[in-house]
Structure 1
Amino acid sequence: MSKKIIIDCERMKYPHTGLHSYCINLVPALQKVVHPDSEELCFFLPKEQNGAFGNDQDYLFQHSYHKLVMPSLKKFSIWHSLHQDSDYYPLKNKLPVVLTIHDINVMHNADKSAAKKKRYIQQVEKKIRRANHVAFISNFTSNDVKQYIDFTNKPNSVVYNGCTIREIYPLQTPSIKPAAPYYFTLATIMKKKNFHVLPALLVGNDRLLVIGGITASESYKQEIISIAIKYGVEKRLVFTGPVTENDKQWYMKNCEAFLFPSLTEGFGAPVVEAMYFGVPIFLSQLTSLPEIGGDVCYYFPSFEKEAMQQTVKEGLQHYKNSNAAEKIKKRAAMFSWPNAAAEYLNIYRSLY
């Protein structure tokens, strides 16, 4: 009898986010590696995502009452939850469970109370205890979670994300085209992305700063603008809003540098995407970013204006003198969705 694997893609309810991108890139890779005669995939997702992975695929649609009472899972062999914060989880079912954990950023958020952090860890721990195998998207995330939760006798592994770029050719020029050389960054606009430190890099030059991504916090966006006004560079600040795949690739391919000063990252998918194009990349030294960027990226020693400016100046000069593009592209190739899918398939098969 064929083994049926149900994939919880609940995070697809958030379009234009890294988690949405994670689902739409991992699933097609899984579709290619499962054995067609003995393994089947079913996708548990919001009804508005019907057909997301092909009209001939098997879908089970989420309903709000499933948060309390799960649908019948008798025909399934494995449940894979693609994110630790999914609202749906078979806590009371004997079905083997694989849980992917992306981060526990809540624990590093100074705005969250100790009580909220405690409740969050308890919720994640409950899911971990129920899981038969836990996968982390980076060694950083693995080590971070293990500071709070005991993993004795709990099978676990690191499964890196892949590079989401499937190169478009020819690229079309975006409707918002920078009128001068520019730095680029891409992420949901929210405080933990730390974008407000970037306008300082426009002081003393004619560069633009192009920020792509949806705005999760309007107040934080205004903070970025206020700091740009403070430095007198607000006219060189460009917010694109959500970007299409074409526009993302165009901005990355043509930028002078990709900047990503994020404070908390479980992986940092935009970094790998920028590496694909071999551009100079400047990152914070925090959380998973040094693990992903390795020795091909440049790192801000602090977020002080002068230190950041010096890092970019020296990094761009080193990039120019060392012909670094090919080395950067080679590191991007290390992160592969087919490899991730194959690793997950091995985990599934260990639980049949």
Structure 2
Amino acid sequence: MPDNIIIDAERMKYPHTGLYHFCLHLGKTLLQQQPANAATPAFYVPPGAVNLFGTNTPYRLQHSLHKFWLPFANQYAIWHSTFQGTNYFPAGSKAKIVLTVHDLNFLHEGKSPAKEQKYLKAVQRKIDRADAVVAISQFTKKELETHIQLKQKEVHVIYNGCNINTEVVAEKPATVPHTPFIFTIGTIAAKKNFHVLPRMLVNNQLSLVIAGINQSPEYRQKILDEAAQYGVGDRVFLPGAVTESEKYWYLQNCAAFTLPSLAEGFGLPIIEAMHFGKPLLLSTYTSVPEIGGDLASYFHSYEAADMSALALHTIEAHAANAEQHAQQLFERSQLFQWKNAADQYWQLYQQLLNKK
């Protein structure tokens, strides 16, 4: 029986997304943490991602026909499926499957009951076939326990790591507000709840930068309409997708970071902001409080007066004790490390390889 492993990094065909960075950072760290007696894992990637894990690493190229048949899957002892919604899943292969479940966000996006059931059944089929199931947060694990028939199958929780690379040099972006600003980043989509954020700017001089891929032009317009309604349109900026260097500049220079999401499986930008010691303004939904912990401020009301007051209080309280609070935030960010995640995944791989 083969003892080699393949990591599904097909989602890397979508740069500037959480799944892209999950695959990139986990993959690189798995190689760094590779046990001495283990075979080098292969990576299933789109053509544009070849060599991102090194020139001596084995690759398999993604092809759309693989949705129907993955002819090489039997050549591997373990197939690590890194996304519960993947269309590239070797259900009929002999390989043992590790399935990472990021979220069941479709349950929190206002979809019809019929669609929710459709998506749940798809996840259920993958769970049934998987030999090991990983959730990226305790919240996601609880969601699986509530909505999926696990049939006594254990769900392992392996947290993501902090994506910050200290070797990256921050670069000032083209879009820079003229007043102190609150920053957020993520796909421009309704589940991110970004349209409520302009309300924070009422009765103050703060600005807002919302960076990220424009998945929904309609939702982007809703954000701008909300800003105009509250008379703060000249202080709301949507620069689109930004580079890592530009993101680091925004994180280094913002007055606070915010994530008002309705649905998150983890919330990687939260720990990136923590790394830079930035005060946090977060929603109370899904996994967000689990990652933010007791160092963050939370929106309990989305009325403009309440949001504005919370933003000002959070920024002022941080400024009054900036050095100590920033250090506490940085230390919390260090609880989430890709090294720890890679070590836990290698332990899981070894357990499956040792099972006959």
1:170-249 aligned within 5 A = 170-249=169-248
Q: Which residue of 2 aligns with 1:19?
A: 19
- RMSD over aligned Cα, in angstroms? 1.4
Q: Which residue of 1 aligns with 2:329?
A: 328
AA paired with 1:207? L
Answer yes or no: is the 8 Å Cα contact 2:281–2:296 preserved in 1.
yes
Q: Which residue of 2 aligns with 1:35?
A: 35
What is the SS of the residue equivalent to 2:65?
A: helix
Give the distance between the partners of 1:255 and 1:320, measured in 2 at CA: 13
Give the Å deviation of 1:36. Answer: 4.6
Q: Which residue of 2 aligns with 1:259?
A: 258
Give the distance between the partners of 2:168 and 2:191, measured in 1 at CA: 33
Give the distance between the partners of 1:195 and 1:203, measured in 2 at CA: 15
Deviations 1:145-188 (A, max 9, x none): 22111223212210000000012464332222222211111101
Could you say if the C-alpha distance between residues 34 and 269 of structure 1 is closer, same or farther in structure 2, counting changes exceeding 3 Å?
A: same
What is the SS of the residue equivalent to 2:6?
A: strand
AA paired with 2:351? S
Give the distance between the partners of 2:220 and 2:27, measured in 1 at CA: 33
Answer yes or no: is the 8 Å Cα contact 2:2–2:75 preserved in 1.
no
Give the Å deviation of 1:2. Answer: 7.2
Give the distance between the partners of 2:180 and 2:230, measured in 1 at CA: 19
Could you say if the C-alpha distance between residues 46 and 169 of structure 1 is closer, same or farther in structure 2, counting changes exceeding 3 Å?
A: closer
Give the distance between the partners of 1:48 and 1:327, measured in 2 at CA: 39
1:114-133 aligned within 5 A = 114-133=113-132
Give the Å deviation of 1:118. Answer: 0.8
Answer yes or no: is the 8 Å Cα contact 1:2–1:39 preserved in 2.
no
What is the SS of the residue equivalent to 1:40?
A: coil
Deviations 1:27-86 (A, max 9, x none): 010001113543221111212222121122101112122111112233311110000011
AA paired with 2:14? Y
Answer yes or no: is the 8 Å Cα contact 1:2–1:38 preserved in 2.
no
1:1-352 aligned within 5 A = 3-110=3-110, 112-168=111-167, 170-322=169-321, 323-352=324-353
Answer yes or no: is the 8 Å Cα contact 1:10–1:87 preserved in 2.
no
Which segment is superposed worse, 46-55 or 14-23?
46-55
What is the SS of the residue equivalent to 1:143?
A: helix
Give the distance between the partners of 1:331 and 1:37, measured in 2 at CA: 33
Which segment is superposed worse, 301-310 or 272-281?
301-310
Give the distance between the partners of 2:91 and 2:269, measured in 1 at CA: 33
Count of residue pairs brought into register by the alignment: 351
Could you say if the C-alpha distance between residues 31 and 211 of structure 1 is closer, same or farther in structure 2, counting changes exceeding 3 Å?
A: same
Answer yes or no: is the 8 Å Cα contact 2:202–2:304 preserved in 1.
no
Answer yes or no: is the 8 Å Cα contact 1:98–1:135 preserved in 2.
yes
Which segment is superposed worse, 306-315 or 194-203?
306-315
Answer yes or no: is the 8 Å Cα contact 1:132–1:155 preserved in 2.
no
Give the distance between the partners of 1:66 and 1:222, measured in 2 at CA: 37
TM-score normalised to the size of structure 2?
Answer: 0.95
Give the distance between the partners of 1:346 and 1:240, measured in 2 at CA: 41
Answer yes or no: is the 8 Å Cα contact 2:183–2:210 preserved in 1.
yes
Answer yes or no: is the 8 Å Cα contact 2:183–2:257 preserved in 1.
yes
Deviations 1:278-326 (A, max 9, x none): 0111000111011001011110112121221222222223223343111
What is the SS of the residue equivalent to 2:127?
A: helix
Give the distance between the partners of 2:64 and 2:245, measured in 1 at CA: 35
Answer yes or no: is the 8 Å Cα contact 1:167–1:249 preserved in 2.
no
Give the distance between the partners of 1:25 and 1:124, measured in 2 at CA: 24
Give the distance between the partners of 1:25 and 1:13, measured in 2 at CA: 15
Give the Å deviation of 1:26. Answer: 0.6
Which segment is superposed worse, 270-279 or 147-156?
147-156
Give the distance between the partners of 1:168 and 1:350, measured in 2 at CA: 35
AA paired with 1:243? V
Give the distance between the partners of 1:235 and 1:225, measured in 2 at CA: 10
Give the distance between the partners of 2:233 and 2:317, measured in 1 at CA: 29
Which segment is superposed worse, 286-295 or 312-321?
312-321
Give the Å deviation of 1:10. Answer: 1.5
Which segment is superposed worse, 100-109 or 46-55?
46-55
Give the distance between the partners of 1:303 and 1:83, measured in 2 at CA: 32
